Structures are given as structure tokens and as C-alpha cells.
Chain A
Amino acid sequence: MPVWLALTLALCWPIAFAAASDFAPVIEGRPLAFPADTGAHPDYRTEWWYITGWLTDETGIERGFQVTFFRVGTGIGADNPSRFAPRQLILAHAAIADPSVGSLIHAERIERALEPLAGAAMGQTRAWIADWELASDATDGPERYRTRIEADDFALDLELVTTGPPLPNGRGGFSQKTPDPSNASYYYSRPQLAVEGRIRLDGTDRHVTGHAWLDHEWSSEIMPEEAQGWDWIGINLHDGGSLMAFRMRGRDGSALWTSGTLRDGAAPARTLVPDEVRFQPGRLWQSPRTGTRYPVEWTLEVAGRTLRLEPLMDDQELDGRRSTGIVYWEGAVRVYEADREVGRGYLEMTGYAQRPDSL
């Protein structure tokens, strides 16, 4: 549940209400169909493919990485025969968390969907902006994703091999975000992706391996008026299982809604109802740039288990004041259970600086 959602909403707000009916509603009971649903759903307002994970290079250095492709329906230009009609925008964002750097290295792109320069294809995952790309391929062996990002300061070229079928979140892929079921999305995850590829940092290529997580989510209306932000995690557990959990916070900081999906080892996945998930903030870190204070350590109670989150590094804040206007924290975390590391993944925290979409 990446913060780019917030960005999209920020982009959309002037027409959010006027045009809400132009987009398809998210209704419970629509079964997800694969691989068709791995492709784009342009009838819905927003959609993203969100990859997070941990990478280890030949020298054993560990880094976090994140690649997101976004599709946004604008509601503009439906009647315009121009090839430039901005009906759909494609956004891409990539970041690397390198403890030796101490803060995130990141880059972003935004374009209107315009074949063959940028777009999000239907039927199977493929989203791209020029040479930045994320695509899936199931023709030969297990289904795999390939993503390539060539930014000025860094580059990523990774192959992510799936180790199981898509894992629907919520009730059969219908993921409710607040007590009001109209604030919902279609949402599935691909945990435990085996990663191999290359990253470029400081002008040198490094061969990397690791584990990653992919979220694919689409919806037309997620964040209600009374929400302030959210906390989200996607964790690959060392036992082969996975944990997704999120909490939507109200303006007063209280939880409006919590939910999650837990798979213990090889056991079947279980959808967690709001009562089964509790987020408890721990140590606070204050950003020297924005002055925002983030709880970078957490204690989670999930289905009776107590988990502790610790960040790869404290400063994984993204300061978008100059571009998107959004300030949030999105970074690699380790998960401990009784002082034993049980998994690794990503944590995202929004709404600590200001409400992401400014509503």
C-alpha cells in the first residue's frame, strides 16, 4: 500500500468528487482472475505494482530497494482523439536504502500513457516509462517479473521469480480500508520473490541476490475524509511464510481500520480481521530535514504473536516537498520475535508530516 497512492490522490483531488462516478467501483465478490488481473485495470482510478525487498551483493552488503509503477486515471480527455490525451498517467518511483549512504537514493518519472513511450498494459503485468519497466513473463518455467530502472545516480536490473501463486488479501482480494466498505481496493501480493540481478551505485555495477515482495492493488476510492495516514508492512518470513498488515489512522492518531494477511510457513494464508492486528509505535526518530518525527521501531501484535520491527537505518524518509509535496517514510525493516530475526521486509508510514492528499 505505497504512499504513491497518496500522491495520486493529491493529483486527483480537484476532480476527485466530480469524476468519481467516471471510474468503476470496487465491489466485494468479484473474484480475481489470473493472469488477466496481473495486467492493468484502466477503468479504476488508481493502480500500482509495488516491489520492495532486500538485496545482498557479492561482498555481503545488504540494502533495501523499492520499485513502484503507478497508473492514474485522470478523467480528462475521454472525448479527445489526440494521441496525447492525458486519460491515464504513468508514474514510476525507485529507491535504494544503503546504510553506508545513510539516506534514501531515489528517482521518479511521470508521463502520460502514450504508446509506445509509456503505459500500463492489460492482460499481463507490463508498465513502463521509456526504459524504466516492470513486466511479468510466464512462458518459460515459473512466472517471473523483470524490472529495469536507469536513473542518474543508480540503476536496478532485477529478475524476480515467483515461488507460489498470487496471494489475495482481504476477502478474496477485496481489501477494505475503513469501516465503510466503499473505501476498498482489489489487492493481491506476491511474497517470497527470489531476486537476482544487478544494481549500479556510484558508477559501479554489483551483482545482487535477495528476496522481494510485490503488491498489486487497484481501486477508485480508498482514503476517506477522516483519515490522516497509514502504516503498512510487507514481510517475507524466514520460514517461507509472509505477513502483510496495515492500519489506517484517523485524524487523532487512533486506528480507523486494521487488517492483514498472514501465512505461517507452508500453511494456508489467513486474513486477519481488525481485532487481530495491533500496531504499537516504539522509538521515535526525528528527520533533520523536515523535523517530522517517525516511530521507526514498532511492536506488532498479530494473531496472538508479538513481533518487533527494527529499521535497516533510521533515515528512510522521502522528502517530496520539492516535487510531489509529500513527506513520508518508507524503508527496509527487520522483524524479530523474542529477539530472533524471523523475517525481513518493508515498512511504510504516511501522514506524520501532513495528511498526504491535503484534503
Chain B
Amino acid sequence: MGILGSGNSAALRHVFLASLRRRRLATALSLLAIALGVALGLAVQLIHTAALDELDRGMRLLSGEADLQVVGPRSGFDDAVYARIALHPTVAAASPLLEIQARLPGRDETLRVFGIDLFRVAQVTPSLLPIVETAAADGEDPEGSDADRPDRLAALQPDALFLSPAASTRLELDAGDAVVVQVGIGEARLRVAGSVPSAGVGQVLAVMDIAGAQQTFDRIGRLTRIDLRLAPGIERGPAQELLRDLLPPGVTLLTPEETASEVTGVSRAYRVNLTMLAAIALLTGGFLVFSTQWLAVVRRRREFAFLRALGLDRNSLERGLLTEGALLGLIGGIAGVLLAYLLTALAFRLIGGDLGAGFFRGVAPQLRVEPVLTLAYLGLGVLAGVAGAWLPAREAARMVPARGLRAGDEAEVYQARPRRGAALIALSVAALLCLLPPIGGVPVSGYLAVALILVAAVLAIPGATVGAMRLLPVRGSLVTRLARARLAAAPGQAVVAGVGVVASVALAVSMAIMVDSFRDSLDAWLTRMLPADLYLRASDSGASGYLDPDAVARVAALPGVAGVRPVRFENLRIGEVREAIALIARPVQDTSGLPLVAGTLDPPAGPGTDPPTWISEALADRLDLGVDDPLALPLGEQIQTFRIVGIWRDYARQQGAAVIELETFRALTGDRRTNDLGLSLAPGTDPVEVMSAIRATLGDRVSEMILPGELRSMILQVFDRTFLATYLMLAVAVTIGLFGIGTTFAALASSRQKEFGILRHLGLPRRRIGTLLALEAALTAAVGVGVGLAAGAAIALVLIRVINPQSFHWSMDMQLPLATLLVFGSAMILLAALAARLAGRQAMRQDAVLAVREDW
């Protein structure tokens, strides 16, 4: 054991950790990559955790102490069920609820109104208990009543509405103020009679008496939920079984956790995907650490050889280099964590808890420190650093000190072997993984396949470089031949310089292909789904507005209106899947509009056949159903069997949707309301004139109209915003990849000074050496971009064919944005050349004589 025995840690620290400081730019880049990866990943997680927590808290608050909840379709169920349930011996307390999304005319929002029985709600859901507040200006109160005297009758008044503190703030309403709500295409006037003080901080909701709610919103005889507390000693499971027998079809009993998981379940695939994108940024960071560390190892080869000769053993050297990587990871990780909290705070302030997909709209989460999550991401940062340093450290440790001390030896490290076998194995495993089903709704194997394709791409670089150089013409200028010879002889150089490029290009390309395909398919889908000239609706399909037959008739009779197509939205609970599915009742057979992927729009209708239904891909996947299978749907509280005649693509409803003919729906339910009305106009009619005519007919505060073109661009805008986060991450990854080429060539240039010196002596002008470097970089980048494009296309295929169908149950047509990719690839190559040229300038400034002499 020499002077550098493992006990002398101060010296080791000097040798290893201080080296990071010397390579400032490269170190900074690695740090940046890791920090960004950690920051993006952690921020996405923090935002979603907070949003989910708030959502969960809200659900728990709104479920109170309920053991079970009776839930049905969105339009609710017959309230005759309530007494049966409430009187059942297993039930200690039952609290009926009617939930309504009340559209507020003249405001661009809806208010969640709970109709409650205030004598019952306290037993199960005390957080919804309203407190009467008399407006200060209300002069009817003689001598002032006792403030602590609850005035329960005031809460029973049919127009008394109680606002949660958050709703009161959001709507800027206080006790005594009037609130106008929309019912159908009419308006009803309510009065703020007090507050719901125990509703959570972030919960925007209102409470009113259940009888008043049924009357005001024209929902007599309907409930949407019954919260149950079970009698002491009664288990949920058996009670669920017993009580289910009392319920009509389509109405079921869930635990509050199950109700909550409906919401979190739908958003899970989206959350996982964002997390995966962040992980990709982190992966790119790991590759960059690999590049910098590899180069550092090359440059310090003689230093290490010397240290080894002085007695530093193999393991200590390896450990030291790994520590360097870990330190990079740690510092990058800490910076990333700080950045993540900053980003999260900013996101909460600017956009709330919703990252674009709309799952968490209306949730106002609070930023909280999540120690476990934070530590996990910090650990991932360190892991990326260590993983990046691992190969270089092994390489350094393997070096024979005697050879390492000799000049010119560093060329050896670029003798990367083409690992065709390994690349092939990785690709085959990836292909196999694509065949596996998702785990818990998350396409784990799909993501693994993506990672394996990346690995295969990196492994393929040396072989690809050698192959590409062979393809290059042997003739040409001296510089070209030099560059070609250099790369063919030292493909490892391309690995080191190109690994970041390959990874970032592959990911960028795959996302570009996927997003482009998705956008094209979405556009085509929208055109198919929106065939009318003008759309009219009273409110969002879940809210309190609707068009009655009379309103529809009045609109149809307007001049210029050639035809109307009413659509009714409902959601249903079917036994097989836990989340409610969407039901769309509309005319189908004589219209153009369903983007079918299987089946027909015009099924043969014979006597005795069940009515037809067209189900979305998501529903087909989830129920494992195909064309010609029967599907039983609970409609009008009885089971009706439908025949599946088509499967259609649906990008709007992940939980699954079934389309049935409107006439069938009306016959079964007696529900003649319309949510959306598509209008086809007579040729030559100005839609704007029709819009004013409709406004004049229905009143201008209670309806919304939109031209399909506007709606389409609105939806595509939302789409683009959703993928904005993706684009940002990719831009970061690509930039980092480019910087990687720059730093690599800077380092290469300095380590190849004597080579350049000799070339100068042989008469090559300094400028041409710059060209040589740029050309090498361009060739390296070209190989990297080429491999990246291939890998990207493969990953896109996995994304489109495996990950999207498995996470979201929708398909899309693959589309190659060739022009974009071409421009992108050329730009990458040019930028790489430019970066190398700039980076090499420093190295070439040196005197040729000195450069040659230095090593002798």
C-alpha cells in the first residue's frame, strides 16, 4: 500500500472530487441534466400528489363517516329506494343526496350543489351541515335573535342556498345575496342563506334542502347518492350484498374509497405518462454523466496510471470515480429538488393543480413538503450519476498502469467493440415485452420496451459508426478521409459523443411521431364527430342546463335550420366495471358521424333482434367485447340487452362509452331532454344569423352555441397545451444532447492536441483542422441522429401500438412527419458541427510545435 492507500481519504478527495471543479462546463452540463430530470419528475409528482390529496380529502370530506354509498347513473335514481335502504336493519343512518352541477347563467362556471336532508346529513356527512347566517342588512329581525340559536327552518326554505367558504370567495357572494341558477333553459333564483363552514378549504360547493333542490332543478323523485352508516357490528361486505338486492339495475353500492378511486383511476394513466417523461429527462442526464465521466477518464488516463503505479488499487480508483458520479448526482439532485418545489409553487399559483388534461380542474391544492418523494427523487439523481460513471470507472480500473503511462494510449479507450449481439437481444426482448398486457392499467412492459430500445440504440452506435464510415466514399478531400478514418478506427469516440444525441433524438423523434399521429387522428375524429354546421347546448352535459322538446322544436322551426340532431348524455353503472360509463343517445343510422374502427353504422334490423349499440374502443377493451356480442345496459332502472354492431374510436371518454339510438333511449327512459343539439343549416345560410335567432328565441344567458370549426380548434388547442409539457422536456433533452456533443469535442480536441500538432507540421492549415473537427462532429451526429431516428420510430411504434392503447384504450393511425424529422435531423447535424467547431477553437489555438513537443 503506497501513499495513496485507501486510508488517505484527503488525498483521494483531492484527486477525484476536485477534478469535477476543473471540468467546469462539462460538470455543469451533467449537473443541469440531472437537476432538470429530477426537477421535472419531482414537480410532476408533487403537483399530482397535492392535487390527488386535495381531491381525496374532498372526497373523504364529502363522504364523511359513510361506510357505503348508494350511487347510480349521473341523472340519479328513483328516490323510492331511499326509504327501503334507510329502514334496512343493517343501516344505522342513511343520508340522501342530490348532487347537481348548477350552471350559473352569465358566469362561465358551474357550482356543485348538494341537496341534503339537514336532519340526516349530520349523522353521516357532518361536513355538509349548513349554518344559517342572517345578512347584516336584513332588518326583519326584531331586537336581534340569539346568535347561538340555530334557526333550522330557515335552512328548509326552498330557495335557501349555503355556500362553502371557498365557493363564497370564488363567486364573491355573501349571505343575503341572490344567486341565479340555470334549469333547462330557464333560470331560478336562490338566496345565499348562510355557509357550510366545515367544507374543506379547497372545496367549492353549495348546500340546500333536498326538497328545494329537487323542485328548483326539476329533479322531483331523483337522488344521486345515499350515504350510509352501518349498524354497529355489521361488516361492509355482507351489508353490500344484502343491500344490493334492494337496488334497481344500474344502481350500486360502493365504499367511499371505491368512489374516490373512480376519479384517481381515470387520471392514473395520464399521471404515469407524465412521470415517465420526467424519467426520460433523468435518463438523458444519466447518459450525459456517462459522456463527461468517460471523457474525464480518458483525459486523466495517465494521471490514473500514475496513481495506480504509486499504489492506488483498482477498487479504490473505481470507487473514487463512482463517488465523483454520485457527487454529481447528489448536487444535481439537490438543485433539482429545489427547482421542483419552485416549479410546483409557480404552477399552483398560475394554473392550479391541473397539468393540462383537465382531471383536477376545480381543485385548489396546497404546496406541501413530501419528504419520501423528495428523497426518492434525490436518490434517483444520485443513481443517475453513479450509473453514468459506472462504465467509465470500470474502464479506468481495467487499465494496465504501465500502458496507461505511455503517451497515445487514450486512443485505446475508443476501441469500442460493436455489440451487435447485445443490441439484437435487447431489441428482441423489447419486442416480446410489447406483447405483455398492462399491469394494473399501467403499461409497465411497454415502458420497459422503450428503455430497452434506447439501450439497443446506444449499443448499436459503434457498429453503426463503422458501417456508416464504410459506406462513405473512400475518395474525397483529405479532411474527409481523415475524419472517416478516425471515426472508423475509433468508434468509441462516436459512442461517447453521440450517446446523448441518440437518446435525446430517439425520444424527441418518438414523441414527435406519436404526437403528430395523435393530432392527425384527433383531427379526423373531430371532423367525424362534429358533422353539423352549428352546435347548441344549454350547459355542459353534466350540468343543470338542458333543452326540452319544446325548445328543440322552436329551434328546428327557425328559418335557415334544415335539420336538428339532438344528443342526450347520460352515464351508467354496469356491473362489470367499477367506473361509470358514458351513454350517448343520438340518431346514428341515418347520419355520417361515428369514427368506426369495426362494424357498421347500418346494421340489418330484423324483428326480434335487440336494439343496436356502438361501443367505444375503451369499453370494448374493458369488457372484452366485440361486434355481435350482446351488451346489457341498465336504462330506466331495468336491464335492456343491446347488440354491439360497431366499435368506434373515442378520444373523449377514457372510462368507455356506448352509443345508442336516441329513439331507443327515449322509449326506454321517457327522458326527452336534450344536451347537445347539432343543427344542419340550409345552403347559403349564415350561421351567425341563425345564432342570433336562437339567442332571441331561447334567451341569451342560458345557452351556448359553437361552430364546429371553433370547437375543433379549441379542442386542438387544449391538446397542444396538454403536450406542451412534453415538448418542453424534449427541448431540454435535445439541448442537453447538443451541449454534450460540444463538450465532448472540446475534450477530444484537447486530448488530441498532439495529433493536431502533427497534422499542422504535415502542412494542414489550422482552419482545416477546425473543419476536420466539425466534420467529425457532423458525422458523429449524423450517425447519432440516424440511429436516433430508427430508435425513435421504434419507440413511437411502441407508444402508439402498446402504451396508448394500454393506458388510454384508444388507437391512432401512425403518421410520419417526414419533413419535420428531416429538418430536425439536419439541424441537429449542423448544430453539432458548429458546437464542435466552437469547442475545438481553444484547442487549436495552441502552437503546433508546443503541441507536438508537450508529450515528449
Q: Is residue B410 contacting chain A, with contact meaning CB distance below 8 A? A: no
Contacts between the two chains (Cβ within 8 Å), count: 78
CB distance from A163 to the nearest CB of B (A): 35
CB distance from B223 to the nearest CB of A (A): 9
Contact check, A77 vs B146: say whether CB atoms are below 8 A apart.
no
Q: What chain A residues lie within 8 Å of B83 (beta carbons)? A: 114-117
Contact check, B87 vs A117: say whether CB atoms are below 8 A apart.
yes
Q: From known contacts A77-B158, A111-B119, A117-B86, infer whether A82 and B215 are also in contact, taking CB-CB under 8 Å.
A: yes
Give the docked Cα–Cα distance between A322 and B189 (Å).
Answer: 33
Q: What chain B residues lie within 8 Å of A85 (beta carbons)? A: 211, 215
Segment of A11-19, A283-291, A310-318 engaged in the interface with chain B: A11-19
Give which listed residue, A11, A82, A321, A325, contacts B220 with CB less than 8 A.
A82
Q: Is residue A80 contacting chain B, with contact meaning CB distance below 8 A? A: yes
Q: Which chain A residue shows the least CB distance to B219? A: A82
Q: Is residue B156 contacting chain A, with contact meaning CB distance below 8 A? A: yes
Q: What chain B residues lie within 8 Å of A111 (beta carbons)? A: 119-120
Q: From known contacts A81-B215, A116-B87, A117-B86, infer whether A86 and B209 are also in contact, taking CB-CB under 8 Å.
A: yes
Q: Is residue A20 contacting chain B, with contact meaning CB distance below 8 A? A: no
Contact check, A74 vs B153: say whether CB atoms are below 8 A apart.
yes
Give the docked Cα–Cα distance between A350 and B465 (Å).
Answer: 100
Q: Which chain A residue shows the least CB distance to B215? A: A80
Contact check, A74 vs B156: say whether CB atoms are below 8 A apart.
yes
Q: Is residue A76 contacting chain B, with contact meaning CB distance below 8 A? A: yes
Contact check, A354 vs B146: say whether CB atoms are below 8 A apart.
yes
CB distance from A19 to the nearest CB of B (A): 10
Q: What chain B residues lie within 8 Å of A15 (beta carbons)? A: 153
Q: Which chain B residue shows the least CB distance to A354? A: B146
Give the docked Cα–Cα distance between A321 and B519 (Å).
Answer: 64
Q: Which chain A residue shows the least CB distance to B145? A: A358
Q: Which chain A residue shows the least CB distance to B152? A: A11
CB distance from A36 to the nearest CB of B (A): 27
Q: What chain A residues lie within 8 Å of B149 (beta carbons)? A: 10, 325, 358
Task: Tell me the chain A residues, 104-142 only, with Cβ under 8 Å from chain B.
Answer: 110-112, 114-117, 130
Q: Is the interface of A mostly helix, strand, loop or mixed?
A: loop
A280-321 interface bits toward B, Cβ cutoff 8 Å, 1 = contact, 0 = none: 000000000000000000000000000000000000000001
Q: Which of A76, A81, A86 has the most CB of B within 10 A?
A: A86
> Interface residue count for A (Cβ, 8 Å)?
30
Q: Is residue B148 contacting chain A, with contact meaning CB distance below 8 A? A: yes
Q: What chain B residues lie within 8 Å of A116 (beta carbons)? A: 83, 87
Task: Tell me the chain B residues, 156-181 only, with Cβ under 8 Å from chain A.
Answer: 156-158
Q: Which chain B residue shows the least CB distance to A14? A: B154
Q: What chain B residues lie within 8 Å of A76 (beta carbons)? A: 153, 156-158
Q: Is residue A84 contacting chain B, with contact meaning CB distance below 8 A? A: yes
Q: Which of A110, A112, A354 has the most CB of B within 10 A?
A: A112
Give the docked Cα–Cα distance between A283 and B152 (Å).
Answer: 36
Give the docked Cα–Cα distance between A83 and B96 (Å).
Answer: 12
Q: What chain B residues lie within 8 Å of A77 (beta carbons)? A: 156, 158, 211-212, 215
Give the docked Cα–Cα distance between A76 and B208 (Å).
Answer: 14
Q: What chain A residues lie within 8 Å of B142 (beta carbons)? A: 359
Q: Which chain B residue shows the least CB distance to A109? A: B119
Give the docked Cα–Cα distance between A354 and B148 (Å).
Answer: 13
Q: Is residue B150 contacting chain A, with contact meaning CB distance below 8 A? A: yes
CB distance from A3 to the nearest CB of B (A): 15
Contact check, B79 vs A12: say whether CB atoms are below 8 A apart.
no
Q: What chain A residues lie within 8 Å of B628 (beta carbons)? A: none
Contact check, A112 vs B119: say whether CB atoms are below 8 A apart.
yes
Contact check, B220 vs A81: say whether CB atoms are below 8 A apart.
yes
B196-235 interface bits toward A, Cβ cutoff 8 Å, 1 = contact, 0 = none: 0000000000000111101100001100000000000000
Q: Looking at chain B, what size class is its interface with the partner chain?
A: 20 to 34
Q: Which chain B residue shows the least CB distance to A90? A: B119
A46-83 interface bits toward B, Cβ cutoff 8 Å, 1 = contact, 0 = none: 00000000000000000000000000001011001111
Q: What chain A residues lie within 8 Å of B210 (beta carbons)? A: 82, 84
CB distance from B741 to the nearest CB of A (A): 72
Contact check, A83 vs B87: say whether CB atoms are below 8 A apart.
no
CB distance from B263 to the nearest CB of A (A): 28
Give which listed residue, A74, A82, A117, A130, contacts B214 with CB less than 8 A.
A82
Give the docked Cα–Cα distance between A10 and B212 (Å).
Answer: 22
Q: Is residue B151 contacting chain A, with contact meaning CB distance below 8 A? A: yes
Q: Is residue B117 contacting chain A, with contact meaning CB distance below 8 A? A: yes
Task: Tell me the chain B residues, 86-116 only, with Cβ under 8 Å from chain A.
Answer: 86-87, 96
Contact check, A82 vs B119: say whether CB atoms are below 8 A apart.
no
Q: From known contacts A110-B119, A325-B146, infer whether A86 and B156 are also in contact, taking CB-CB under 8 Å.
A: yes
Q: What chain A residues lie within 8 Å of B152 (beta carbons)? A: 11, 110
Task: Tell me the chain A residues, 22-63 only, with Cβ under 8 Å from chain B.
Answer: none
Q: Which chain A residue shows the least CB distance to B149? A: A325
CB distance from B253 to the nearest CB of A (A): 19
Q: What chain A residues lie within 8 Å of B140 (beta carbons)? A: 14
Q: What chain A residues lie within 8 Å of B153 (beta carbons)? A: 11-12, 14-15, 74, 76
Q: What chain B residues lie within 8 Å of A13 (beta carbons)? A: 145, 151
Give which listed residue, B79, B150, B157, B209, contacts A83 with CB less than 8 A.
B79
Contact check, B96 vs A84: say whether CB atoms are below 8 A apart.
yes
Q: What chain B residues lie within 8 Å of A114 (beta carbons)? A: 83
Give the docked Cα–Cα distance between A304 and B86 (Å).
Answer: 55
Q: What chain B residues lie within 8 Å of A89 (beta carbons)? A: 119
Give the docked Cα–Cα distance between A137 and B282 (Å).
Answer: 80
Give the docked Cα–Cα distance between A100 and B211 (Å).
Answer: 45
Contact check, A14 vs B119: say whether CB atoms are below 8 A apart.
no
Q: What chain A residues lie within 8 Å of B148 (beta carbons)? A: 321, 325
Contact check, B156 vs A82: say whether CB atoms are below 8 A apart.
no
CB distance from B521 to the nearest CB of A (A): 47
Q: What chain A residues lie within 8 Å of B214 (beta carbons)? A: 80, 82, 84
Q: Which chain B residue shows the least CB distance to A8? A: B153
Q: What chain A residues lie within 8 Å of B209 (beta carbons)? A: 84, 86
Give the docked Cα–Cα distance between A358 and B151 (Å).
Answer: 11
Give the docked Cα–Cα distance between A354 and B145 (Å).
Answer: 12
B773-785 interface bits toward A, Cβ cutoff 8 Å, 1 = contact, 0 = none: 0000000000000
Give the docked Cα–Cα distance between A84 and B140 (Å).
Answer: 28
Give the docked Cα–Cα distance between A80 and B265 (Å).
Answer: 39
Q: Which of B83, B154, B209 has the most CB of A within 10 A?
A: B209
Give the docked Cα–Cα distance between A82 and B214 (Å).
Answer: 7
Contact check, B79 vs A325: say whether CB atoms are below 8 A apart.
no
CB distance from A358 to the nearest CB of B (A): 5
CB distance from A305 to the nearest CB of B (A): 40
Q: What chain B residues lie within 8 Å of A83 (beta carbons)? A: 79, 221
Q: What chain A residues lie within 8 Å of B151 (beta carbons)? A: 11, 13-14
Give the docked Cα–Cα distance between A74 and B156 (Å).
Answer: 9
Q: What chain A residues lie within 8 Å of B96 (beta carbons)? A: 84
Q: What chain A residues lie within 8 Å of B212 (beta carbons)? A: 77, 80
Contact check, A82 vs B145: say whether CB atoms are below 8 A apart.
no
Give the docked Cα–Cα distance between A84 and B148 (Å).
Answer: 27
Give the docked Cα–Cα distance between A118 and B214 (Å).
Answer: 20
Q: Which chain B residue shows the least CB distance to A116? A: B83
Q: What chain B residues lie within 8 Å of A82 (beta carbons)? A: 210-211, 214-215, 220-221
Give which listed residue, A14, A84, A358, contacts B117 with CB less than 8 A.
A84
Give the docked Cα–Cα distance between A84 and B115 (Å).
Answer: 11
Give the docked Cα–Cα distance between A130 and B154 (Å).
Answer: 24
CB distance from A161 to the nearest CB of B (A): 29
Give the docked Cα–Cα distance between A306 and B690 (Å).
Answer: 90
Q: Which chain A residue shows the least CB distance to B141? A: A14
Q: What chain B residues lie within 8 Å of A117 (beta carbons)? A: 83, 86-87
Q: What chain A residues lie within 8 Å of B145 (beta carbons)? A: 13, 358
Contact check, B150 vs A325: say whether CB atoms are below 8 A apart.
yes
- The contact sample of 8 A-B pairs, CB cut-off 8 A, is A14-B140, A76-B157, A77-B158, A82-B215, A84-B96, A84-B211, A130-B86, A354-B146
Q: Which 5 A-B pairs have the closest CB atoms?
A: A84-B211, A325-B149, A82-B211, A82-B214, A85-B211
* Known A14-B154, A83-B221, A358-B149; further 8 A-B contacts with Cβ < 8 A: A11-B151, A12-B153, A74-B153, A76-B158, A82-B220, A86-B209, A325-B150, A359-B142
CB within 8 Å of B: which residues of A? 10-15, 74, 76-77, 80-86, 89, 110-112, 114-117, 130, 321, 325, 354, 358-359
